[in-house]
Chain A
């Protein structure tokens, strides 16, 4: 699966607790993304990274922060989890390049906030 590993794959957490999801890639791709997938909304971009320590917000970034200290790792943190953050989270990577660079996705992390 294009060398992308997400951990954990499943997590149940309580409202108000911090949660960190990890995306690890072995492809040395420059760009990394975090999406959430919800029924009726499809996939929506949370944050993305265009290099080590270079990150920016997507369309649904409120309540989330990210960090990328190494090329291979992109962390997504929910500072204080809320029930509205119950979702399936996907990490994606893309190589630097022009029109023909495809995005590759991880297997997803199912997060439940109770």
Chain B
């Protein structure tokens, strides 16, 4: 059974710092991996999607990497800003089935001005 974990559960950093969020999954047979951001009381906003054949994706200050063999993905945030404060979730999609998406529990990020 695929399990997705995210460490740390919470992170507090000063503004301007670069940081890395981790996502681990137990079964490397994934179709893709998606990173989301969730603000309090809001829905999930898609940040980056990495296909199984890709190693990384970049969008602005965000860079996500994928290492299927080790069952890991990282989300790198450069020059963090207070507006980056949110919960970040990763989700792995298993095979081509549209229902088999497993979410991690999330990392709550707080960027201190």
Contacts and interface: CB of A to CB of B under 8 A. Distances in A.
B80 to A, nearest CB: 24
If over half of A's interface residues share one DSSP class (helix, strand or loop), that class is named, otherwise mixed; here it is: strand
Given A40-B105, A42-B104, A99 B52 contact: yes
B106 A42 contact: yes
A33 B98 CA distance: 9
Interface of B is mostly: strand
Interface residues of B, number: 23
Interface stretch (B13-21, B39-47, B61-69, B70-78): B39-47
Given A48-B98, A99-B31, A43 B103 contact: yes
Interface string A50-78: 10000010100000000000000000000
A103 B34 contact: yes
A94 B93 CA distance: 12
A23 to B, nearest CB: 11
A56 B105 contact: no
A106 B43 CA distance: 5
Contact of A102 (B42, B43, B46, B89): B46
A113 interface: no
A103 B93 CA distance: 10
Contacts of B32: 99-100
21 contacts: A4-B43, A31-B98, A40-B105, A41-B105, A42-B105, A42-B106, A43-B89, A43-B103, A45-B101, A48-B98, A48-B99, A90-B43, A92-B44, A94-B98, A100-B49, A102-B49, A104-B46, A105-B36, A105-B45, A106-B43, A107-B43
Given A100-B32, A102-B49, A108-B41, 11 more contacts: A33-B99, A42-B89, A42-B106, A43-B89, A43-B91, A43-B103, A44-B103, A45-B99, A94-B98, A99-B52, A107-B42
Interface of A: 1, 4, 31, 33, 40-45, 48, 50, 56, 58, 90, 92, 94, 99-100, 102-108
